[in-house]
Structure 1
Amino acid sequence: MSEHPDCALVRRGYEAFGNGDMETMSTLLTADAIHHVPGSNPLSGHHKGRENVLDLYRRLGEETKGTFQVDLESVLADGRGHVMSFHTVRADRGDRGIEIRQGLFFTIIGHKITDIDQCTADIDEEDVFWS
């Protein structure tokens, strides 16, 4: 069985992110893409527009001095332009470390990502880590 094209798109995004390839990432997002980050920390909120989303991704690396890693576990599609992914994040920031499960809910239109809703296993833990 071949993988659904929407799942393949999300996997390409994870691979580009893992390689720090923001050029490829930019080709996967619409100009008006939004990434929603939960919680009450400096990274929380609605990052609107391709460049702001890419800036968020760059900041994850900068804030953790390159230790931010994502291990993709699974990618699921509904065949109607929605994909869910599940992964584990590991990172260090100052004297803090984090290992936490997260999920992303993608909306895909015209073979590009338009919206990303981020979910986490523990919002409070993430707020402490990023604050």
Structure 2
Amino acid sequence: MSAIDVVGQYGAAMAAGDMAALAATFSPDAVWHQPGANQVSGDHIGPDAILAHLGTFMELSGGTFALETDSATESGDLVSATVRFRAQRPGQPDLDQHGVDVFRITDGRIAEVWLISEDQAAEDRFWGSV
């Protein structure tokens, strides 16, 4: 299976809300690097921590967080995907940004994820501090 196929499985599981299938796309020691200076920033290690992290987006946004993948490109074990993500929170302007997610695939699973937002400062304000 190619690296881009693995990311496709991740995207399909995410869209379907299939947490078991989503967890299966990550290697046991996968690292999700969440950028910024806000309450969701930092590294999240392992499928359980990553799924809990993704759940935090839903919790903080009252279930409004949505992620769409526009396109993806692979180069060896790396895949970059252009994305659009949206969410709403009371007292905050709506979050609606584009970005790039970069995945490193090892042995048919996601080993690492880096996220790049078009306006990290606005995203930091949206998610807020602890």
Aligned length in residues: 127
Higher mean C-alpha displacement, 24-33 vs 7-16 = 7-16
Aligned to 1:62: 59
Alpha-carbon offset, residue 90 of structure 1: 1.0
Alpha-carbon offset, residue 119 of structure 1: 0.7
TM-score (norm 1): 0.92
Q: Are 1:93 and 2:89 counterparts? A: yes
Alpha-carbon offset, residue 21 of structure 1: 1.4
Alpha-carbon offset, residue 7 of structure 1: 1.2
Aligned to 1:127: 124
How far apart in 2 are the matches of 1:93 and 1:20? 21
- One-letter code aligned to 2:82: F
How far apart in 1 are the matches of 2:9 and 2:27? 15
How far apart in 2 are the matches of 1:49 and 1:13? 15
TM-score (norm 2): 0.92
Displaced runs of 4 or more, over 6 A: none
Q: Are 1:82 and 2:66 counterparts? A: no
How far apart in 1 are the matches of 2:18 and 2:122? 28
Alpha-carbon offset, residue 18 of structure 1: 2.1
Alpha-carbon offset, residue 71 of structure 1: 1.5
Alpha-carbon offset, residue 5 of structure 1: 2.3
Q: Deviation per CA, 1:49-93, whole angstroms, max 9, x where unpaired?
A: 221111111111111111111121011000x21100111001101
Q: Are 1:5 and 2:2 counterparts? A: yes
Alpha-carbon offset, residue 130 of structure 1: 0.1
SS of aligned partner of 2:126? helix
How far apart in 2 are the matches of 1:65 and 1:50? 23
Runs of 5+ unmatched residues, structure 1? none
How far apart in 1 are the matches of 2:119 and 2:24? 31
Aligned to 1:24: 21
- One-letter code aligned to 2:22: M
Aligned to 1:111: 108
SS of aligned partner of 1:40? coil
